Chain A
Amino acid sequence: MDEKQYDKQEERIRFVAKHYREGSLNAKQAWNRLARTKGIRPPAFRRRYLAMAASFALLLASVAAFYYWKANTPRWVEITAAAGQLKEVYLPDSTLVSMSGGSRIRYNAKTFGKKGREVEMNGKAFYRVTRDESRPFSIQTKMAEVVVLGTSFQISQRYASIRVHVATGKVNFIAGEGREKENVILTANMSASYAMETKKIQTLTGEDANFLSWKTGLLQFHNTPLERVIEDLNDYYQVRVISRSMIRGEKLTATFNRLPLEEILLIINQTLDVRLTVDKSN
Chain B
Amino acid sequence: MGAFTTEEFERSFKELYQPLCLFALRFINKADDAEDIVQQTFADLWDKRTGMNRILNLKAYLFRSVRNRSLSVIAQAGWTPLEEPLTNAEDRSLEESMYNAERDARLWNAIDKLPPERKKIFLLSKRDGLKYQEIADELNLSVKTVENQISKALKALRETTIRIYTFFLG
Contact = CB atoms under 8 A, between A and B. Distances in A.
A15 B126 CA distance: 9
A33 to B, nearest CB: 7
Interface residues of A, number: 29
B21 A25 contact: yes
B147 interface: no
A44 interface: yes
Contact of B14 (A13, A17, A28, A44): A28
A34 B107 CA distance: 25
Contacts of A18: 126-127
Contacts of B35: 24-25, 30
Interface stretch (B39-47, B66-74, B138-146): B39-47
B100 interface: yes
A12 B43 contact: no
A12 B103 contact: yes
Range, interface on chain B: 35 or more
A104 to B, nearest CB: 67
Contact of B43 (A9, A19, A38, A45): A38
Interface of A: 1, 8-9, 12-21, 24-25, 27-28, 30-31, 33-35, 37-38, 40-41, 43-45
List the 7 closest A-B pairs by CB distance, nearest first.
A17-B126, A27-B17, A43-B7, A16-B107, A43-B6, A17-B127, A25-B18
9 contacts: A20-B108, A24-B31, A25-B21, A28-B14, A30-B17, A33-B39, A35-B10, A38-B43, A40-B6
Given A17-B111, A30-B17, 8 more contacts: A12-B103, A16-B111, A17-B122, A21-B31, A31-B10, A33-B39, A40-B46, A43-B7
